[in-house]
Amino acid sequence: MNWITNFVRPRIKSMLGVKETTPDNLWTKCPSCGEMLFQRDLEAAQYVCSHCDFHMKANARQRFQWLFDDAQFEELPFIPVAADPLKFRDEKRYPDRIKEARTKTGQQDAVIAAKGTIAGVPAMVVAQNFAFMGGSLGMAAGEAFIAGAERAVNDHVPLVLVVASGGARMQEGILSLMQMPRATVAVQMLRDARLPYVVVLTDPTTGGVVASYAMLGDIQIAEPGAVIGFSGRRVIENTIREKLPDSFQKAEYLLEHGMVDMVVHRHKLKETIARLISMLMKTPVSAAIAKAVAEPEGGALVPDGVEADAVPPPPESEPQAAQ
Amino acid sequence: MSTYLEFEKPIAELETKVSELRKLAEATPGMNVADEAARLEARAAQLLKDTYTKLTPWQKTLVARHPGRPHFYDYVRGLIEDFTPLAGDRGFGDDNAVVGGLGRFRGRPVVLIGHEKGNDTKSRLKHNFGMATPEGYRKAIRIMDLAERFGLPVIALPDTPGAYPGLVSEERGVAEAIARSTDRSLSLTVPMVCVITGEGMSGGAIAIACGNSVMMLEHSVYAVISPEGCASILWRSADKAADAATAMKITAQDLLALKVIDRCIPEPTGGAHRDPLAMVAAVGDAIASELDVLGTKDGETLKRERREKFLRMGRSLAA
Ligand SMILES: [Zn+2]
């Protein structure tokens, strides 16, 4: 096992965010079931475990590759913000933490916005990467989200948010909290322009992020098993002095409590999003949409019984829609 | 009688001595201690003033949480006529941590929303220490809808340690409720004036703190997370709360400098709890002057300016 932890893991980590050709001999261990997975298969399966269906974390550029047609997209430029507005010091200097996160992820900050087409429908995707300081929401992330929304309005295209975040960037203090109203204003710009805003909640999405723009989607989607909630599990357990079940704050729990529209397997995300935004944008069904719906990417890998959003067959007596 | 904070101990000793001297003088006719009492009293007053002009961020946090500090209902009693509380979110229940209603403020009908923490054991339990469940924010949304429909200004008084971190909050979507309340505040076409009267902690506060004018009392605090919470995450020890309070920049003075708030309302010497009536009146004056300015603007301007203010926030800090 030693060579796995000492050699393979760091290599895999260093690859995240930087597209490299994968050597043939790399394996990774599923954090959920412990199964050893062949790295190339795992990438082809969009980081979903082929044994237990666990959805692993993904970075922003992987999200773009999986959602945009032919993995083609245009990234919006990074918008520089005040580097350390509070001169924040805890055990490390904030700028040092940022530098580390940049090296680790190959991203300038937690959020990147990109433009492309999803099954032929032009769209913006904003992706928030948990690997960058826990996907925390600071000024740079706020600017990236706002820029994504402004570009969507400008180009008259829908915006899809794929989010993973532990919440606020504490090192930016109140300026981090202010990203909640700022991002909310960006959502309002989309709404004013009557553009669809689709949110995909992935593991984990918590704190201030889920209490603002990540909960304001026209459609709320969650990936299976994703932890989604406002307060941390331990904080709640301390408050109520009770142990919470494993299912607490999971995507399926939110579905049951009416907080999301659907739980969608990662292999069906593109198809689902394409279907939704093409209808909301009143885009005629194109060959690309038809193809995406007929052949969902990686669809063959979906084990039986995991489609959480199976559509019931129409009742026999239901009259067909007029026109 | 009065509650002294730990750092007020030297003041407490002097003030206790003064009242003991006075009692002694009353009980002993002919005994002249007036000079001594006056001298001690002056020293106590000076010490109080000195202490409060240089409160640390952590000391301000303690003052902001002082049990004698005026809360929502103290402001309502002092400033609002015909206050008519409104209850319920029309979906599940009524929350007592976020309260609100209709009333007349210096002649004009307004709607009010705010956190109430309670001021004794019984009322603190009733108001859940100012920690709201989703129903509180959904009630706030409903009251803001009412303001919008009838063109009434919104006065909001956030004062909370944060939303209630319990199972019921998660079950019923506290995150969504906070998001929608923030959303509603930012789309209003009526004036919204917010005064952070005590502690404005995290999403639980921002949900009702997105006004055209956001003011803070001189010794109130406003933060993304409580100093204790920040310390336990970044320092892995809640004992470092004082360090976290300093690092996070949570005081009205810091937030005014960062242009996150619009105005700081001075407190009576020794803090709002020393003279609640004067504090309430000063808050009333500040709200009135803000409403006078905002009242001249049309709805679309109010909405646009509010949004632009938040969009601008922090941008001027970039080098
Ligand atoms: Zn697995």
| B182 and B310 assigned to the same domain | yes
| B14 and B125 assigned to the same domain | no
Does residue B1 lie within any of the structural domains?
no
How far apart CA B39 and CA B25 sit, in angstroms, is: 15
Q: Residue A320 pLDDT > 80, yes or no?
A: no
How far apart CA B42 and CA B53 sit, in angstroms, is: 17
Phi and psi dihedrals of B133, rounded to 5?
Answer: -90, 175
Does residue B29 lie within any of the structural domains?
yes
Q: Residue A12 pLDDT > 50, yes or no?
A: no
Whether chain B has a CB inside 8 Å of the CB on A80: the answer is yes
Q: What is the pLDDT of residue A310?
A: 46
Q: Band of the pLDDT at A25, cuts 50, 70, 90?
A: confident
Nearest Cβ partner of A178 from B175, B187, B310? B310
Q: What is the pLDDT of residue B123?
A: 97
Chain A residue with minimal CA distance to B187? A188
* Segment A97-118, tens digit of pLDDT: 999 999 999 999 999 999 999 9
CA A213 to chain B, closest CA, distance in angstroms equals 7
CB contact under 8 A, B230 and A244: no
Alpha-carbon radius of gyration of chain B: 21
* Segment A121-156, tens digit of pLDDT: 999 999 999 999 999 999 999 999 999 999 999 999
Show Cβ contacts of residue B224 under 8 Å, excluding neighbours closer than 6 positions.
A168, A170, A172, A173, A174, A176, A177, A208, B202, B230, B248
> Based on the structure, what is the number of domains in chain B?
2
| B39 and B102 assigned to the same domain | no
CA B223 to chain A, closest CA, distance in angstroms equals 5
The pair of structure tokens assigned to B128 is 């859940």
| B26 and B172 assigned to the same domain | no
Q: Residue A20 pLDDT > 60, yes or no?
A: no
Q: What is the pLDDT of residue A33?
A: 97
| B236 and B99 assigned to the same domain | yes
Whether chain A has a CB inside 8 Å of the CB on B202: the answer is yes
Cα-based distances in Å from B125 to B96, B129, B134? 10, 6, 17
Cα-based distances in Å from A50 to A17, A129, A262, B221, B309? 22, 23, 22, 50, 49
Does residue B307 lie within any of the structural domains?
yes
Whether chain B has a CB inside 8 Å of the CB on A56: the answer is no
Does residue B241 lie within any of the structural domains?
yes
- A2-16, A272-286, B200-214: least confidently modelled range: A2-16
Residue for token pair 């100012």: B130
Q: What is the CATH number of the domain that holds B240?
A: 3.90.226.10
* Segment A233-247, tens digit of pLDDT: 999 999 899 999 999
* Segment B248-276, tens digit of pLDDT: 999 999 999 999 999 999 999 999 999 99
CA A184 to chain B, closest CA, distance in angstroms equals 6
DSSP states along A37-62: EEHHHHHHTTTB-TTT--B----HHH
Residue for token pair 């730990």: B6
How far apart CA B232 and CA A153 sit, in angstroms, is: 41
* Segment A35-73, tens digit of pLDDT: 999 999 999 999 999 999 999 999 999 999 999 999 999
Does residue B84 lie within any of the structural domains?
yes
* Segment A76-85, tens digit of pLDDT: 999 999 999 9
Q: What is the pLDDT of residue A270?
A: 97
Cα A214 to ligand 1 centre (Å): 27
Predicted-complex ipTM score: 0.96
Q: A287, A293 in Cβ contact below 8 A?
A: no
Q: What is the pLDDT of residue A17?
A: 45
| B122 and B220 assigned to the same domain | yes
CB contact under 8 A, B170 and A229: yes
Give B178's contacts in chain A (Cβ within 8 Å): 211-212, 230
Cα A265 to ligand 1 centre (Å): 14
3-state helix, strand, coil split of chain A in percent (to 5) is 40, 20, 40
CB contact under 8 A, B223 and A139: no
Q: What is the pLDDT of residue B33?
A: 82
Number of Cβ atoms within 10 Å of the Cβ of B90: 11
Q: What is the pLDDT of residue A22?
A: 58
Q: Band of the pLDDT at A216, cuts 50, 70, 90?
A: very high
Q: For testing the chain B interface, which of A189, A192, A230, A234 should be mutated: the one with the most B CBs within 10 Å?
A: A230
End residue of a domain, out of B54, B76, B91: B54
CB contact under 8 A, A173 and B179: no
Beta strands A27-29; A36-38: pairing state: antiparallel
Q: Is B111 helix (H, G, I), strand (E, B) or coil?
A: strand
Give A139's contacts in chain B (Cβ within 8 Å): 314
| B314 and B284 assigned to the same domain | yes
How far apart CA B242 and CA B262 sit, in angstroms, is: 26
End residue of a domain, out of B19, B37, B54: B54
- A·B CB contacts under 8 A: 162
Nearest Cβ partner of A177 from B169, B202, B233? B202
Model confidence, pTM? 0.91
Q: What is the pLDDT of residue A286?
A: 73
Q: Return the closest-CA partner of residue A135 out of A85, A209, A186, A228.
A: A209
Whether chain B has a CB inside 8 Å of the CB on A244: the answer is yes
Cα A46 to ligand 1 centre (Å): 13
CA B231 to chain A, closest CA, distance in angstroms equals 9
Q: Residue A5 pLDDT > 80, yes or no?
A: no
Q: Band of the pLDDT at A290, cuts 50, 70, 90?
A: confident
CA B80 to chain A, closest CA, distance in angstroms equals 29
CB contact under 8 A, B187 and A215: no
Q: Band of the pLDDT at A201, cuts 50, 70, 90?
A: very high
| B38 and B113 assigned to the same domain | no
Mean pLDDT of A149-166: 98
* Segment B56-105, tens digit of pLDDT: 999 999 999 999 999 999 999 999 999 999 999 999 999 999 999 999 99
What sign for the dihedral angle of Cα B28, B31, B32, B36? negative
Mean pLDDT, chain A, rounded, equals 87
Q: What is the pLDDT of residue A21?
A: 55
| B68 and B32 assigned to the same domain | no
Does residue B283 lie within any of the structural domains?
yes
Q: For testing the chain B interface, which of A169, A189, A197, A231 should be mutated: the one with the most B CBs within 10 Å?
A: A231
Q: What is the pLDDT of residue A254?
A: 98
How far apart CA B182 and CA A145 sit, in angstroms, is: 17
Q: What is the pLDDT of residue A322?
A: 39
- Is A285 or A72 the better-scoring residue by pLDDT? A72
Show Cβ contacts of residue B204 under 8 Å, excluding neighbours closer than 6 positions.
B115, B131, B132, B160, B161, B162, B163, B178
What sign for the dihedral angle of Cα B226, B230, B232, B233? positive
CA A160 to chain B, closest CA, distance in angstroms equals 18
Q: What is the pLDDT of residue A284?
A: 81
| B24 and B85 assigned to the same domain | no
Chain A residue with minimal CA distance to B307? A185
Cα A45 to ligand 1 centre (Å): 12
Q: What is the pLDDT of residue A317?
A: 46
| B135 and B49 assigned to the same domain | no
Domain with B10 in it: 6-54
Does residue B120 lie within any of the structural domains?
yes
Q: B110, B103 in Cβ contact below 8 A?
A: yes
| B50 and B106 assigned to the same domain | no
Residues of chain B with pLDDT under 70: 1, 319
Cα A56 to ligand 1 centre (Å): 9
Whether chain A has a CB inside 8 Å of the CB on B44: the answer is no
Residues 180-209 of A with CB under 8 A from B: 180-182, 184-185, 187-188, 207-208
